Chain A
Amino acid sequence: MEDHGHSTTADPASAAPVLTLDKITKTFPGVKALDGVCLDLYPGQVTALIGENGAGKSTVVKTLTGIYQPDGGQILLDGHPVPFATPQDAADAGVTAIHQETVLFDELTVAENVFIGHAPKSRFGLINTRAMHDRTGEILGSIGAQIDPGVKLKDLGIASRHLVAIARALSVEARVVIMDEPTAALSQKEIEELYELVDTLKAQGKAILFISHKFDEIFRIADRYTVFRDGQLVGAGQMIGVAEEDLVQMMVGRSVDQLFPKSRAEIGEEILTVAGYSHPTEFEDINFSLRRGEILGFYGLVGAGRSEFMQSLIGITKPSKGAIRIDGDVRVIRSPAAAIKAGIVYVPEDRGKQGAILDMPIFQNVTLPSLHMTSRNGFIQLAEELALARQYTERLDLRAASLDTNVGALSGGNQQKVVIAKWLATKPRVIILDEPTKGIDIGSKAAVHGFMSELAAQGLSVILVSSEIPEILGMSDRVIVMREGRIAAELDGDNLQPETLVRHAVGISVEGEAA
């Protein structure tokens, strides 16, 4: 490949891996995040780690950097087992990561950011500012960045900050550099500069683990690939000779094998029409309609703008353009209260943060948006309130000792049921479920799926935002794929294939799609 010419310190063909993950297993309560995965990182080579959301990529990064300890398997450095018991151990071994959301300090200078935690000291144990600035200048120079080490971080743009983060990663004697979605926040020009930087690091003989969703950049810079699916290794090899098709196949590589109790509901008239919805920075030109009894899936990679669009649909953020019609009438939704009134409710993704109020009893959580229904003359009628809460918690088969229990004391699955019960109690027409089964156990998952079908059968329209392909294919009548804030495709019938979804989501041109 193109790097052969200037690869000076390492010969990719003969080199042994610097770092090896050998049959690593990591289990969290209820989830096996990594199941005996292997990964080799070679000096002077870029290994791309590919997988759907939830395939275990982040867990690998955290294992490699000593944040998580594996339950089984071992990490080998130059062929010798090393326990990375703490992040410091990993750093000492020369493993360094540039994270998705880099943690930097706004009020500190560039040099201080680069050397925080391991600043060069003077004889008296004080920080040697001059040495720190000089070293920072050298590192920044080595990656071709023109940044003054003395300026405060807050005065830099996003791209420069990113370079500072990279400099920080390189300020320790790095042998392995992990880049976790490094291009997510960068413009096209900055991405090109990043590619050059990666080439520079390769030439210095560093082993690079490059995590990305984007196939164009994987094919641009990776020498090797490793594909994970559901925490397992499904394929690895040289990029030379591998086709996009093969990688997509490995990423999804399964039939929709889980059982989804989707009963085909009677699909009726149009309830909700969204026309030209746009936002200055988050999404653009979203058009679709939703029918009575329909489950409409929204698929996309993390950061495709699905949740952002949904939040604007319920009035949390304001669209810059576009209109909503409900039953053919134009409605302006400026606040969540207006959305609830218009019959659109949103069950957010982050239960803990956006869903339930943990210090409140179950029944008060359930009735919170519907209190006007159980109030007379401005006073809440406690008996009616309890009855309403009981009706919906029973409908969701919520098991709790008492409706007076605080939600914080419930399991994740039951908290999710409380949140869903809360929204159903408002008697909505459209319910938006954002990743409704993320992080809940299989049993609760099946209950949520069954319930979704039931809702559709009762004439409710459901928008299902999900990153799980089996779930979205199993439950949806129609799927909209979003990519980078736009609708990439609207699929139904025979087009609802895992490969098609992924191709649209990652942005591979789709040949033969027209047929």
Chain B
Amino acid sequence: MNALKSREAILGGAILVLVALIASRFPGFIAPANIIAVFTDTSPLMILAMGQMVVILTRCIDLSVAANLALTGMVCAIINVAAPGLPVALILIFALFMGAALGAINGLLVWKLSIPPIVVTLGTMTIFRGVIFLLTEGKWINAHEMSPSFTGVPRQDILGLPVLGWIGIVVAVVMMVVMARTTLGRAFFAVGGNPHAAVYTGINVGRTQFLAFVISGMLAGLTGYLWVARYAVAYVDIAGGFELDVVAACVIGGISIAGGAGTVVGTLLGALFLGVVKNALPVIDVSPFWQLAISGAAIIIAVAFNAQSGRSKGRVILKSAEHAQ
């Protein structure tokens, strides 16, 4: 517990140091407007990371989130083109349900057929992208085809923060409550921490993993609408490879890839860290290829950190070592 708390402090500190370093050369980076822009830009990553966190906690992984996002986003765009008058609230609800349904496919395959999650989600990842192609024959849906309200909602400001950012905050708060205050949240930790023990306590391990995939899918669906609306474009390859950023945010945030350990705050900080890196590097004129290298290095450092803190100390047998600790 202490290790995790200090982990979050370290990550928070790293973000502050990073921001301070950038600000020392480009004071504009810490202008309120830019901070809001960075936060808003990072919101999709935060939302997806919340879902991925739950999945990884239960010793699974969801590689299909970005494909789910793209498929759900595309279907939302198609609906908007077909029925421009449909209220955005309905589309939002539809996106949640469709994403959850796609996540449920992953969950059912893992639960009922006991297929390893990495295989299931690699498969559905490809299938979802394929379905988009079948739906559109590879054509794009562009800004001029979408209704202004459809594209406008995520960008609308409330108290100075765009709706997209607010949704990120709401999702984070809801997940904090779910993880800390519901039996389901507790079950996620229990299943990942010790599946055998969880079975004895009456927790259905498969069902818990299924629900984790449903949550991950639901948040991917939500992000699907937000993404398509924000960038005002939908095509087969949107958010291609983004699932790796999502997993990276979780890992950097201290979610143990072995399951059962991690926090919502850590995950959020992990996502923010990546968001700051992504937004800052172009500012200080670093090539996008360095961005990838820096993201990758951050992941490895984070995992090495996890492995180090997770290593058991071993038994103290020598009397002389007892005090030397």
Q: Which residues of A contact B (CB under 8 A)?
A: 29, 314, 316, 335-337, 339-340, 346, 348, 350, 353-361, 364, 368-369, 371-372, 375, 378-380, 382, 404-406, 422
Cβ-defined contact, A359 with B260, below 8 A: yes
Pick the contact of B186 from A335, A339, A355, A371 — CB < 8 Å?
Answer: A371
CB distance from A27 to the nearest CB of B (A): 10
Separation in Å of the A411 CB from the closest CB of chain B?
A: 11
> In the complex, how many angstroms separate the beta carbon of A465 from the nearest chain B beta carbon?
14
The reply to whether A29 and B317 form a contact with Cβ atoms under 8 Å apart is yes
Known: A379-B181, A404-B1. A336 touches B261 (CB 8 A): no
Q: How far apart sit A348 and B204, CA to CA, in the bound complex (Å)? A: 17
Give the shortest distance, in Å, between B124 (CB) and chain A (any CB).
28
Chain A residues near B183 (CB-CB < 8 A): 371-372, 375, 378, 380
> B198 near A: Cβ within 8 Å?
yes
**Chain B 191-205 interface residues, beta-carbon cutoff 8 Å to A:** 193-194, 196-204
In the complex, A454 Cα to B179 Cα: how many Å? 37
Contact among B1, B177, B196, B203 for A353, CB-based, below 8 A: B196
**B204 interface neighbour in A335, A353, A364, A372, Cβ under 8 Å:** A335
Whole-angstrom distance from the CB of B240 to the nearest CB of chain A?
Answer: 35
A360 pairs with B181, CB closer than 8 A: no
Asked whether B204 lies within 8 Å of A337 as measured between CB atoms, the reply is yes
CB B207 to nearest CB in A, in angstroms, measures 10
Task: Give the residues in chain B near A316, CB-CB below 8 Å.
Answer: 199-200
Chain B min CB distance to A339 (Å): 8
**Chain A residues with Cβ under 8 A from B202's Cβ?**
335-337, 339-340, 369
- B297-318: contact bitstring with A at CB < 8 Å (1 yes, 0 no)? 0000000000000000001010
Count of A-B residue pairs with CB < 8 Å: 81
Judging by beta carbons under 8 Å apart, are B186 and A380 in contact?
Answer: yes
Q: Which residues of B contact A371 (CB under 8 A)?
A: 183, 186
B contact residues vs A (CB 8 Å cutoff): 1, 177, 180-183, 186, 189-190, 193-194, 196-204, 256, 260-261, 315, 317
User: In the complex, which of the residues B204, B260, B315 contacts A357, with contact meaning CB atoms closer than 8 Å?
Assistant: B260
Q: How far does the alpha carbon of A339 sit from the alpha carbon of B203 in the complex, in Å?
A: 12
Q: How far is the CA of A369 from the CA of B189 in the complex (A)?
A: 13
Q: A300–B78 Cα gap in the complex (Å)?
A: 68
Whether A358 pairs with B193 at a CB distance below 8 angstroms is yes
A368-B194 in contact given A357-B260, A359-B261 (Cβ < 8 Å): no
Could you name 22 residue pairs across A and B whose Cβ atoms are closer than 8 Å? A335-B202, A336-B200, A336-B202, A337-B203, A339-B202, A350-B196, A353-B194, A354-B194, A354-B196, A355-B200, A357-B198, A358-B193, A358-B194, A359-B189, A359-B193, A368-B186, A371-B183, A379-B181, A382-B181, A404-B1, A406-B1, A422-B201
Interchain CB contact under 8 A, A354 and B200: yes
Complex interface: chain A residues within 8 A of B201 (CB) = 336, 340, 368-369, 422
Interface centre among B1, B180, B183, B200 (most CB of A within 10 A): B200
Q: Would you give the shortest CB distance from A344 to chain B, in whole angstroms?
A: 11
Residues of A contacting B196 in the complex (Cβ-Cβ under 8 angstroms): 350, 353-354
Sample of 16 more A-B contacts, CB < 8 Å, known A355-B200, A358-B194, A382-B181: A337-B202, A337-B203, A337-B204, A339-B202, A350-B196, A354-B194, A356-B194, A357-B194, A357-B260, A359-B194, A360-B260, A364-B189, A368-B198, A375-B183, A406-B1, A422-B201
Instruction: Check if B200 sits within 8 Å of A357, measured CB to CB.
Output: no
What distance in Å separates the Cβ of B44 from its nearest Cβ neighbour in chain A?
28
- A residues less than 8 Å from B190 (CB atoms): 357, 360, 368
| 9 cross-chain pairs, A with B, having the tightest CB-CB distances, nearest first | A337-B202, A357-B193, A369-B201, A357-B194, A371-B183, A359-B193, A336-B202, A354-B196, A379-B181
| Complex: A314 Cα to B200 Cα, angstroms | 9
Q: Which residues on A sit within 8 Å (CB–CB) of B180?
A: 380
A360 and B193: CB pair below 8 A? yes
**Contact assessment for B200 and A361 in the assembled complex, using a CB-CB cutoff below 8 Å:** no
